[in-house]
Amino acid sequence: MGKFVQLVVDGLSTGSVYAALALAIVLVHQATGLINFAQGGMAVLSAYVAWWLTNQGLPLIVAILLAIVFSVVFGALVERWLMRRFERGDPDTAVVVTIGLLTLITGFAGWLWTYNNQQFPSLFPLDTVSFLGVSVSVRSLGTTAVIVVAMLLLQGLFVGTKLGLALRAVAINPQSAAFSGLPVGRLLMVGWGLAAALGAVAAALVAPQLTLTPGMLDNALVYALAAVILGGLTSPIGVVVAAWIIGILENLAAVYVPFIGFDLKVAVPFILIFVVLIVRPQGLFGRKTVVRV
């Protein structure tokens, strides 16, 4: 029983990392209608920035905060100078652009900081706490908590502030938003910046566990995309729930299903996807979209 609870909590924490990435992808998709395959790559870059700053002698928490600021700026710049040209065009071309960006960032990080694994200091101690007779690792609880707080902040921003209202307006209908005087271009930059920041938080939290490499979040990106498919592109809450389900299920499957084990647990979300796609093609929580010709 103790093992089971520990697995669930660990799954919840990795699920939270997937959820943050998935939410970033949904954020970008709602604003600009494209899937950013470089979301994980951008997050890794900010983790490298944080790692480099700690090596310069800065305390970890300051380094992470600075890295988040960096990724907001970086995300905004990517939107303005790279994606803007492709947003109104063919979505497939835009996707290829994000893949080019992923290759570029991975290549850049590998060239500058080598492809070797780097140790990233952990924000949380590696202790365990006893809770109702079950020991649970502090890191898992902390990771989950930080990401949930980040999501709630983001939700507050979207629901409770004027900026959030403007962002939502741009997401729903960019043209009407522009007509009513909103600076659509700048708002898109803000949207990309926020998405990048969320990714940066996830990367900083998961980096100690995975150790820092340029391809650190490739797998996490796959999980995040799976969560996006399962949750439905139109439902942020659905995506987060799906990411948690994936995180927990893959952890349980790795231990309790002998054939899957730790190496093949990446297949779990896709078995899930296959089942869901047959039963509910619009995703667990998504709506069916009707397109007019």
Partner 1 sequence: MASSPKTSASTTSAPASSATTSSASSFRQRPWVRWGAPLLLVVGLAVLPLVMTEGANDTLARIGVFAVAVLGLNVVMGYTGQVSLGQIFFLGLGAYVTAYGVQSGWNIVLVFVLTCLIPAVAGLLVALAAARLGGLAIAMVTIALPIVGVPLAKRLSDFTGGSQGLSARFVEAPEGSGLYDDQWQLYLVLVIGGIVFLMTSLLVRGKYGRAFAIVKGNENVASSMGISPYRYKVLAFTIASLIGGVSGFLYMVVVQYTSPETMSFGHSIELLVAMVIGGAGSIVGSLLGGAFYVIVPDVTNAIDPSLTALLQGALLLAVLFVLPGGLVSLPRALTRRLRRSPAGRGSAAPPTTPSSTPGSGTAAEQSETERQGHA
Interface mask (CB under 8 A) for partner 1, residues 19-48, using x and -? ---------------xx-x-----------
Distance of closest approach, residue 85 Cβ to partner 1, in angstroms = 7
Q: Rounded distance, CA 293 to CA 138, Å?
A: 53
Residue 103 or 176 having the CB closest to partner 1 = 103
Given candidates 27, 197, 221, 243, which one binds partner 1 under the rule CB under 8 A?
221
Distance of closest approach, residue 146 Cβ to partner 1, in angstroms = 26
The residue type of 187 is L
The site for partner 1, by CB under 8 A, has a size of: 52
Q: Rounded distance, CA 81 to CA 108, Å?
A: 18
In the numeric block, the tokens 């700690």 are attached to 54
The CA-to-CA distance between both ends of the chain, in Å, stands at: 55
Distance of closest approach, residue 156 Cβ to partner 1, in angstroms = 29
Residue 115 or 131 having the CB closest to partner 1 = 115
Given candidates 28, 44, 207, 229, which one binds partner 1 under the rule CB under 8 A?
229
Q: Any contact of residue 52 with partner 1 (CB under 8 A)?
A: no
Long-range contacts of range 209-213, CB-CB < 8 Å, 24 or more positions apart? 209/122, 209/139, 211/117, 211/118, 211/119, 211/120, 212/44, 212/47, 212/48, 212/51, 212/117, 212/118, 212/119, 212/120, 213/115, 213/116, 213/117, 213/118
Contacts of 152 (CB under 8 A, 6+ apart): none
Given candidates 52, 124, 158, 270, which one binds partner 1 under the rule CB under 8 A?
270
Nearest Cα residue to 42 out of 90, 79, 84: 79
Residue 46 or 140 having the CB closest to partner 1 = 46
Given candidates 58, 110, 142, 186, which one binds partner 1 under the rule CB under 8 A?
110
> What are the residues facing 136 on neighbouring strands?
129
Residue 109 or 170 having the CB closest to partner 1 = 109
Given candidates 226, 246, 248, 253, which one binds partner 1 under the rule CB under 8 A?
226
Quickly count helices (H) and strands (E) in the chain: 12, 2
Contacts of 241 (CB under 8 A, 6+ apart): 231, 284, 285
Nearest Cα residue to 145 out of 121, 129, 165: 129
Distance of closest approach, residue 169 Cβ to partner 1, in angstroms = 23
Interacting residues with partner 1 between 141 and 200 (CB under 8 A): none
Which positions lie near partner 1, rule CB under 8 A? 34-35, 37, 82, 85-86, 89-93, 95-97, 99-108, 110-111, 114-115, 214-215, 218-219, 221-222, 225-226, 228-229, 261, 263-264, 266-267, 269-270, 273-274, 277-278, 281, 291, 293
